[in-house]
Chains A and B, each alone.
Chain A
Amino acid sequence: MTRIGRKFCLTASVMAVAVALSACGGPPPVPDTKNLDELYQAAKAEGEVVWYAPKPEAQMKPAIDAFEKKYPGIEVRYTNKKAPDLVTQLNVEQAAERVTFDVSNAGGLTVLPSQSLAAKVDWASYEVPGDQIFADDFVYVWAVPKVWAYNTDAVAASDTPKSWDDLLDPRWNGGKLSVEARGSFMTVWAQDPALGTDAGLDYSSRLAQQQPHYTENTTQAHTLIVSGQTPVGTDLINLVLGDQAKGAPVAVAPVGPTNANKSYLFVAEGAPHPAAGRLLTAFLASEEGQSALVDTYNSAIPTNTDCTDAATNRVIGALCDAGVEWFGETNLEQYEQFSDYFPEVEEALGTDVN
């Protein structure tokens, strides 16, 4: 055999061994723990937890720091990923039996496809409040209410729209409303019994006649309001509050009711660190975890409130100050309804592409 041939064979052999070694092993066993203390010991043995969610890391940092302080020996590795990519990636990884992250996120349209991806967990045994457990395996951790916002330099408080019907006034015609093209701001019409989906579709058609300035998502609609390009538009409460804190001329318009889109965490089936994943999720649902999240406007908010808790939660405070009532999702059937409703909303708005 020539020298080159011997080198080739040696390299191929080393690679084959490496490949064989890397292919060994399967998902770790589900922890047999009955309470938080046992869970913590099991999680500490795992040493880390990998968490993916569609949120900037800066917003999750206070909660991550609080968790690592309370549970030393467990490192949180966080990555911001788009919601549809999360579902797809977890789906693919589970099919290949190579799940790489522990805690995932489901909200809005990703709730239904995420159901089959979640591990079965007895959350009550880990002290998760009953009203935060959804569909058995999901844990409600934060909500982001949608709002109508306005630029306070362009619109006086007395001139802001004060109802959904006010938005149809001719003075908001011709690009003065920045509106998210997917129509998620119309969710509340499917939730409030006083409104209804048929009325919502009719409203969407009339809103389209206002020739709003459509944007691909609510974040872009917010940028137009803050920069003064459009005086009024669809927005998210956490974006409004975040920029208000920096001195931006933006405020919540008293247009209600609205939807507070709930977001859930779940432990992925086949997670590489199942105990740590359960511990982190339970922590974020706890009072301590919620206290850390509330500072970045990402916490669970009750839908039934008399606004006495407004002082402790800026999101509730802003909604109460604006006099805006909100609705959250209550069961899986609502998400099934959204799957049919949203394409019709897009069609009514004239933004249906496919």
Chain B
Amino acid sequence: MQSGTPLSTGGRPPTGTRPPTGTRPQRTGVRPEPTDVHPHRRDRVLIGVNIVIGAIIAYLMLFPLGMLLFSSLKDSETKLPFQVPGFTLANFTAIFSSKRLVEVALNSLIFVVGTVGLALVISVSLAYLFERTDIPGRRFLAPSTLAPMAVPATVMAVAWVLAANPTNGPIAIVIERIFGFTIDIYSLPGMILVAGIFGVPGMYIMLAPTFARLNLEFEEAAATSGAGWWTRTRKVVLPLTMPGITAASMLLVVIALEEFAIPAILGMPDQIYVFSSLIQASLQPPSGLANYGQASAYGIMLVLLSLVMIAVYRRQTRESHRFQVVGGKGYRSTPVRLGRWRIPIFTIVFLYVLVAIIVPILTLVWTSLTPYLQPISLDNLGALSLANYTAIFTNPSLSQAVINTLVISLVTATLTAGFALWLALAASRGGRIGRWLFDISFLVFAIPAVVLGMAVLFLYLYLPFPIYGTIWIIIIAFTTRYVPRGSRMIQTALLQLDKGLEEVGRVSGASKGVVLRRVIFPLVAPAVSSTWLWVFAHSLGELPIALLLSSSDNRTVVVLLWDMIGESANYPEASALAVLLLALSAVSVWWVNRRGVQKHI
């Protein structure tokens, strides 16, 4: 990896870097030429490893994109894309001649802007408060915001419906009694509220390391010049964290456009259709055979939107030195004192966690204890029991599903974190090819999950590798899906590092590998561990791809969960399984965070 920036001066190398062994400074003060030939061989190995990893990532990213483009140009209403001769623009014509185009576009715009805006405000506020201030209860509040990551959106949407529906939802009833008006969860604002809250964990986990690194000296310098808190936040804090905020927003835009469980459950009642409704309708059309050509055409539109976002992001991060806050000079990250605002702010944050996180989780727990789906009510307390948990634990398929799930999640998280780190390094220090690969990966992120799953299914049916029907095909599909996100999480951390740190290491005689291992890796470790955690939690609960690629040998816990709600509406048993997923996710969040996402250096 080449740095490409001039040597910085006046910096002190970080501790931990030493000149290579076998050299000793001469009395004349002139450093002797290194006599050890091993650094050249290590560099060749590093180059070889880089080529192999680059080739793997290119293979993972380019094939689904190629398949997407290929399928979008096939009229596959009654056949599969590769069974249809010739190419056509019929899928795109059908999209743009749809009578619902304007309505869907408008609804989608409001839904996405609202969802991203709400999630942004909440997650930026939480990241700032938890990582920069002395807010009390951080050790409980911060992990709580991440706990629901592993629960599938379908289950959380039903939990919200139970908790807030206007007929018998307790949140709706309390609001009506206290404030005198009825909230309608089955509306565009309702969709935005639930989707926004659902998007907070993913955004927060991207932003927290970014805020954790901010050097208080920048804000103190502004305060010394007479800037108030709001001015300092607006002109110092937010600009320095803009790459992270932009990257997180871009990802949530794509997620919100593709998310269908929340619009289907909360929007369908009032016929509020959004972009994902179109994708879902093309996958379950009246012909009975999923129309992958049309679904791929929608995917192309998401990819084109992603190209615009990539251009915006590139322009914003072009002058990356503006975002560097971690340098060779000593810096500190001391919490901002909230003073008399400590308790009021804590109360607001606690209320948010209570309403947005704890109440839906308690609704899940309630449902898991009931024999059938029933409203939350004191009258129904007598019907509660642990029967659903007994049924779960005596399910003969559970143990294998748990093993499959843990292996898939652990391997996917580890592979994704590794590839994402490499991709992020390639983007910021690897020249044109690295940046190109990094941008391509974001296009892959825009491919709808089921279309991506189908591309992987097609590939491994035809390739003579014994992967089809095993957990490895799911691992490959998940890794392909999550590497783009993980690389962006890590890249925002890399942007905050002064390249002078690496230069100092190399000037001291350290090889590229040593600089990576002893300088870069420790500084991006929090972002890498956040990535690992996010991927692990989401792999636990990812449904569309796992369901599509499932076989009798690779079923996961979430496929078992689908088994319960898909055709039998057994939400109580599904909720019990969701509670177990939640517990697993909460344990992993605690385990990763016990060392602290926030690092005060």
Contact = CB atoms under 8 A, between A and B. Distances in A.
State yes or no: do A and B come from one complex. Answer: yes
A109 B281 CA distance: 14
Question: Which of A98, A111, A248, A353 has the most C-beta atoms of chain B within 10 angstroms of its own C-beta?
Answer: A353
Interface string B77-107: 0101011000000000010001010000000
A78 B553 CA distance: 10
B374 interface: yes
A227 interface: yes
Contacts of B462: 96
A100 interface: yes
A79 B286 contact: no
Question: Which of B273, B555, B566 has the most C-beta atoms of chain A within 10 angstroms of its own C-beta?
Answer: B566
B277 interface: yes
Interface string B345-376: 00000000000000000000000000111110
B569 interface: yes
B552 A79 contact: yes
A286 interface: no
Which 10 A-B pairs rank lowest in CB-CB distance, beginning with the nearest?
A109-B288, A23-B464, A77-B552, A248-B372, A353-B281, A110-B288, A96-B461, A246-B371, A216-B264, A113-B289
Interface residues of A, number: 72
A156 interface: no
A215 B154 CA distance: 13
Contacts of A314: none
B562 A80 contact: yes
A216 B265 contact: yes
Given A55-B567, A83-B288, A228 B555 contact: no
A219 interface: yes
Interface stretch (B140-148, B161-169, B405-413, B525-533): B161-169
Interface string A200-224: 0000000000000111100110110
Interface string B536-551: 0000000000011011
B372 A226 contact: yes
20 contacts: A19-B465, A23-B464, A55-B567, A57-B397, A80-B566, A84-B283, A84-B284, A85-B290, A88-B290, A88-B292, A92-B80, A100-B551, A108-B288, A111-B288, A214-B268, A222-B569, A229-B375, A343-B286, A354-B98, A354-B281
Nearest to A80: B563
A175 B268 CA distance: 12
B280 to A, nearest CB: 8
A122 to B, nearest CB: 26
A227 B162 contact: yes
B133 to A, nearest CB: 41
| Interface size band for B | 35 or more
Contacts of B547: 81-82, 85
Contact of B100 (A110, A243, A353): A353
A100 B265 contact: no
A87 interface: yes
B566 A82 contact: yes
Interface in B430-480: 454, 457-458, 461-462, 464-466, 468-469
A89 interface: yes
Contacts of B83: 91, 95
Interface string A22-52: 1100000000000000000000000000100
